[in-house]
Structure 1
Amino acid sequence: MNGRMDQETSEGTTEVVGPTEWTYRNEVGVGPWEGPWPTDDRYDPELLEHGDRRNVVDAYRYWRREAIVADLDERRHPFHVAIENFQHDHNIGTVVRTANAFAAAAVHIVGKRRWNRRGAMVTDRYQHLHHHPQVSGLVDYATERGLTIVAVDNTPGAQPVETVRLPRECVLLFGQEGPGLSEDAQQAAELVVSIAQFGSTRSINAGVAAGIVMHTWVRQHADLSAAWGAHSSIPSDS
């Protein structure tokens, strides 16, 4: 299916991008604010004037980016997500986007600093990101904050994520597509979990695996009443 979509760039402008899951829609977001403008300083005058086409939930429409991040900081969950990037893994964008959807405290890139941001759909602007050249840096970060490192890998001795209780304050650590977790990552983990598979393939996509395990954490620990509803309304001026 061919299509186009105006997407927010890192400079705050819009650009036309290729087909996405939204290309069947004529327009994304909302147009200019109708009626008197709100006086709350969370709102961005430029967005109020021209409309808000960003990939954000309705409750954040017209808000400044800094205001969205500040509000998310009050809602974030105490789990972190880390993914190794020693061979330029192309799944990192998807992992970041999913971590944002589940309000992860932060995402950690272990290995190469550069990664393909296209899959993140600009959610990296609202997500805290940390870089560690080696696994040891991630270990130091987790140790200082009392976070349990949970490796996700289908290796002998791994506990099924479908039945294990994940720590509330933790780092969910994922390997690269193909080679999986490095030896250093395996040694750093205090707990190793696997995802049940029933087909012929030896592994599943790293981005998919990250989503499965993050959602497992959400099911076990999150306050589901705090989740955005499917029909969240635009907040009124207060």
Structure 2
Amino acid sequence: MTADPEEPQLEVGVGPWPGPWPSGEHYDPELLEHGDRRNVVDAYRYWRLEAIVADLDTRRHAFHVAIENWQHDLNIGSIVRTANAFTASAVHIIGKRRWNRRGAMVTDRYQRIVHHETTDAFRAWAHGAGLVVVAVDNTAGSVPVDTAPLPEACVLLFGQEGPGLTDEAIAAADAHVAIRQFGSTRSINAAAAAAIVMHEWVRQHRPARP
């Protein structure tokens, strides 16, 4: 589907900075001159990429997200985008180093991403960092995530679309939670599941204030 040339096209972001430029090393002169069309919140308009990442690093949440990537799962990009929205401490890719970044919509530039070759290497890192590994899958013994308190310092571990978590990942977990479902399908989309559980962590540990 192509855009109608007679229809007005909405511009994303803001144009060049009007008037005298603001001072501060976090501002990007090129963006101030030509405009900022990036998909960033207004508070970060005209900021340099490195300055945005540095600011996010001062207020990232205590939870991490980990995804198995044995089959080059296309959902990883969407999960990274959601992790950025909830300021996850980092996203960990277990297995194949390469992953499809299209779904991330450039948010991987702002999100800390770590790679682990094997499940054992990931587990060793998590336990060394004092983090509880929480497997998210509707396996036997899983507790509904909306009834189970999620640890504040934890890693939310997700499997791939279709097969879910591997036996090795399930064995590496310290806790197991699942999303309650009521329809005919066995599972929901991996990226959707990650968004639900990340929001549940935020709901529990960062309640909204009036």
Shorter-chain TM-score tier? over 0.9
Distance (whole Å) between structure 2 residues aligned to residue 224 and residue 40 of structure 1: 32
Match of 1:37 among 6, 21, 38: 21
RMSD: 1.5
SS of match in other structure, 2:114: strand
1:162-177 correspondence to structure 2 within 5 Å? 162-177=146-161
Which residue type is aligned with residue 123 of structure 1?
T
Q: Does 1:180 align with 2:164?
A: yes
- List per-residue Cα deviations over 1:195-214 (Å, max 9, x = no partner): 00011111000000000000
Tell me which residue corresponds to 1:219: 203
Q: Does 1:129 align with 2:113?
A: yes
Distance (whole Å) between structure 2 residues aligned to residue 209 and residue 3 of structure 1: 33
Which residue type is aligned with residue 65 of structure 1?
L
Tell me which residue corresponds to 1:230: none
Tell me which residue corresponds to 2:76: 92
Does structure 2 retain, via aligned residues, the 8 Å contact 1:175–1:181? Answer: yes
Q: Does 1:139 align with 2:118?
A: no
Tell me which residue corresponds to 1:155: 139
Residue 224 of structure 1: CA displacement? 3.7
Identical-residue share of aligned pairs (%) = 69
- List per-residue Cα deviations over 1:83-116 (Å, max 9, x = no partner): 0000000000000000000000000000101011
Tell me which residue corresponds to 1:71: 55
Q: Does 1:58 align with 2:42?
A: yes
Distance (whole Å) between structure 1 residues aligned to residue 9 and residue 182 of structure 2: 35
Distance (whole Å) between structure 2 residues aligned to residue 147 and residue 123 of structure 1: 24
Distance 1:95 1:3, change over 3 A: farther
Q: Structure 1: 5+ residue runs without aligned partners? A: 5-23, 226-238
Does structure 2 retain, via aligned residues, the 8 Å contact 1:65–1:126? Answer: yes
- List per-residue Cα deviations over 1:29-86 (Å, max 9, x = no partner): 1100001101111000000000001111110000000100010011100000000000
TM-score, with length taken from structure 2 = 0.95
Does structure 2 retain, via aligned residues, the 8 Å contact 1:77–1:222? Answer: no
Distance (whole Å) between structure 1 residues aligned to residue 135 and residue 47 of structure 2: 36
TM-score, with length taken from structure 1 = 0.84
Distance 1:183 1:215, change over 3 A: same
- List per-residue Cα deviations over 1:124-172 (Å, max 9, x = no partner): 0000000011111111111111000000000111000010000000000
Give the paired residue count.
Answer: 206
Distance (whole Å) between structure 2 residues aligned to residue 101 and residue 2 of structure 1: 29
The more displaced of 140-149 and 216-225 is 216-225
SS of match in other structure, 2:91: strand
